[in-house]
A and B are shown apart, each in its own frame.
Chain A
Amino acid sequence: MNIHEYQAKQLFAQYGVAVPNGEVCDTPEQAKAIADKLVAGGATMLVVKSQIHAGGRGKGTFKSGYKGGVKLCKTAAEVAEIAGNMLGQVLVTKQTGEDGRLVSKLLVADAPNIKKELYFAVLLDRATSQPVIMASTEGGVDIEEVAESTPEKIIKEWIDPAKGLYPYQARKVAVALGLGGALINSASKLIMGAYKTWWESDCAMLEINPLCIIENADGNDSVMAVDAKVSFDDNALYRHPDIQKMRDLAEEAELEIEASKFDLNYIKLDGNIACLVNGAGLAMATMDIIKHFGGEPANFLDVGGGASREQVTAAFKIILSDPNVQGILVNIFGGIMDCNVIATGIVEAVKETGLSLPLVVRLEGNNVEAGRKTLADSGLTISTGESMAEAAKKVVAEVAA
């Protein structure tokens, strides 16, 4: 699960990770009120940031033509005007796709005086099964490119989960980031807090890009999380009711939310051949084989190990709500579940949805003969394939015809 920048910063603040002063709002009036407060507190530069989950906001363009999802300005009046241009508008960035995302919340914050931008993240290192801190002196840019072109600029510090992060490790990272003097303590506090956030909140990924060296009004420097991106381990959400409340359904695809109500794992893609499969590995492999034979998969859909009749019907409805779909491939390896139950479910779903698109079914496993007979006797136009390859070829050919 992902959350917004403002939510991540609220979480950071609880763990002592320094963030710029700011508040979230959903009207230009509120935006102005927050800006007034910040200016009264001594802010000389302000920033208005669109709150959507996708990155690339600063360089994004609103469908209205208004450019930039993140704007700097100096007065509360300007903040109100910018807010008026952003709120209720759809922002398109390189990560949103052409549909863009509706901006319904803004973060209005103090824009500190940045002396240098760094990169900081905490994530799981799968190779060692340990948490790892990743940092770099190259902040504010695409870290994947840094890792690719200048891997020596990526600093890594592994954390033994039995011991936790020691302050000396945090200081080690700070020194490697080129920080010295009083900044060591400021950075160490931030790093300790960020790691604690990651661990205690069951984060999947915690990224601060940029982590900034700030020149404060008193002339002293400190480090601060100027941006924040946090995602969580879905399997651990049950123990974090406070974090569950941060879920923003408007940021998730409608069909994927609908699918999750039926315990279906659905991910929409751009192709025209839908698939319905049991098991995640087989579902991926089914998408791959459609592509291998010249088709384009329209989705990933795993109905799980014990697909019920209700689930199969719900799965068909979800697949069919995607207007791009021109054919369906059902691939079920019923190891233990009864293939006839699945076949009956398919027949009922086809009747209930009035399916008129080509449907190819590959059924294998327990009680498969009865299942195939149910399909054949249904009076419906359902093609079958003995193997995955045969079924995939058939559906690609039928859609192309």
Chain B
Amino acid sequence: MAILVTPETKVLVQGITGGFGGRHAKLSIDYGSQIVAGVTPGKGGQIFEHNGTKVPIFDSVAEAVTATGATTSAVFVPPPFAADAILEGADAGLELVVAITEGIPVRDMVRVKSALHGSPTRLIGPNCPGIVTPGTGENSHGGCRIGIAPGYIHKKGNIGVVSRSGTLTYEAVFQLTSKGVGQSTCVGIGGDPVNGTSHLDVIKMFMADPETHGIIMIGEIGGDAEEEAAAWIKANGTKPVAGFIAGTTAPPGRRMGHAGAIVSGGKGTAEAKIEAFKEAGIGVAATPSEMADTLLEMMK
């Protein structure tokens, strides 16, 4: 089953005519994902072509949905227009909007989050690598890749991965695949302080997904989303979870690359998160090199 997306999921790309969006739309097509539409206001009627695949471009998300049956969107729109693009996706009735864009103002996201309250549309991100549900082909070809993750490092299997960081997700996936262990779905929830989907949301989905047998949860300094997920796992968890928290050595008061990665007012420290993980029976990898090993040890 996997979570959120399957190889059959029909995906549209908002910002497909931009350099970044176009490049990754091509990589998703190469991976075998169902990229069925592009949206760029003012370029409706044009065609995005790659290796023989022709993707129609629409002026609006609503038109793209009507014409193609897309249920999910990848947002590559530049920061000043990204909040609007996300809300357009929700307005068009998409099930899932995955916002890749980095650098959206916090105030814009505060409004988006408020507007999406009670909406059936789920937002993943922003400032995230996206989602991969690996396929069964060579190098996991034929899966659903939404966003910017390298598809080929994946392998179809039964481990769920959730993380705020892109490259740490790839690191965990690579460790798993190198050991012959595949993944059900890998979800990057993004490094911003306000995001659509939390660690806890994804953990609940993995716990309910029969195809997922174990979970790697990667967190970092800032906020308390990891503590929230750990508390829930302690009370309700039914599957082994291993994790890593980045930022033990980060100085307080400084933003470490991600807008959300900051220890402020003594809150959001790596120590507190690691403590919460241990308290909840989550296996804590001593180093980022041991994320897969820590989980596999627990699953023996």
Contact = CB atoms under 8 A, between A and B. Distances in A.
Interface of A: 124, 126-127, 129-131, 143-144, 147-148, 160-162, 199, 202, 204-205, 233-236, 238-239, 265, 267, 269, 277-292, 297, 300, 302, 305, 333, 335-336, 364-366, 387-390, 392
Contacts of A131: 110
B256 A300 contact: yes
Contact of B257 (A144, A300, A365): A300
Given A283-B256, A292-B287, A365 B150 contact: yes
Nearest to B251: A269
B103 A282 contact: no
B163 interface: yes
Interface string B101-141: 00111111111011100000000000000000000000000
Given A282-B165, A284-B246, A364-B174, 9 more contacts: A129-B110, A131-B110, A144-B266, A267-B256, A281-B165, A282-B171, A283-B256, A288-B248, A392-B287
B268 to A, nearest CB: 8
A161 B247 CA distance: 31
A284 B221 contact: yes
Given A282-B167, A333-B170, A288 B249 contact: yes
A267 B248 contact: no
Interface string B205-240: 000000000000010111111001000000000000
A238 B80 contact: yes
A285 B168 contact: yes
Q: Which 6 A-B residue pairs are closest in the complex by CB-CB distance?
A: A281-B165, A280-B257, A279-B167, A335-B150, A236-B105, A389-B289
14 contacts: A130-B110, A161-B107, A161-B111, A162-B115, A234-B259, A235-B103, A235-B105, A267-B251, A280-B165, A282-B246, A283-B257, A285-B246, A289-B288, A365-B174
Interface string B155-189: 00000000111111111001000000000000000
B168 A282 contact: yes
Given A131-B110, A336-B148, A284 B194 contact: no
B254 interface: yes
Interface of B: 27, 79-80, 103-111, 113-115, 148-150, 152-153, 163-171, 174, 191, 193-194, 218, 220-225, 228, 244, 246-251, 254, 256-261, 264-266, 270, 286-290
B157 to A, nearest CB: 19
Contact of B250 (A129, A284, A364): A284
Contacts of B167: 277-282, 333, 335
Contacts of A278: 167
Contacts of A148: 266
Nearest to B286: A292
Contacts of A124: 106, 110, 193-194
B266 A127 contact: no
Contacts of B107: 161, 199, 202, 233, 236
B178 to A, nearest CB: 10
A300 B249 CA distance: 10
B256 A284 contact: yes
A288 B246 contact: yes
B110 A281 contact: no
Contact of A235 (B27, B114, B259, B286): B259
A388 B289 contact: yes
Most buried by B among A148, A161, A205, A389: A161
B258 A280 contact: yes
Most buried by A among B249, B286, B287: B249
Given A202-B106, A283-B256, A284-B221, A336 B265 contact: no
A278 B165 CA distance: 11
A147 B267 CA distance: 11
Contacts of B258: 280-281
Contacts of B246: 281-282, 284-285, 288
Nearest to B103: A235
A227 B27 CA distance: 53
Nearest to A391: B289
A398 B194 CA distance: 41
B257 A302 contact: yes
A365 B152 CA distance: 10
A364 B222 CA distance: 28
Contacts of A161: 107, 110-111, 114
Contacts of B256: 267, 280, 283-284, 300
B116 to A, nearest CB: 10
Contact of A129 (B80, B113, B254): B113
A126 B288 contact: no
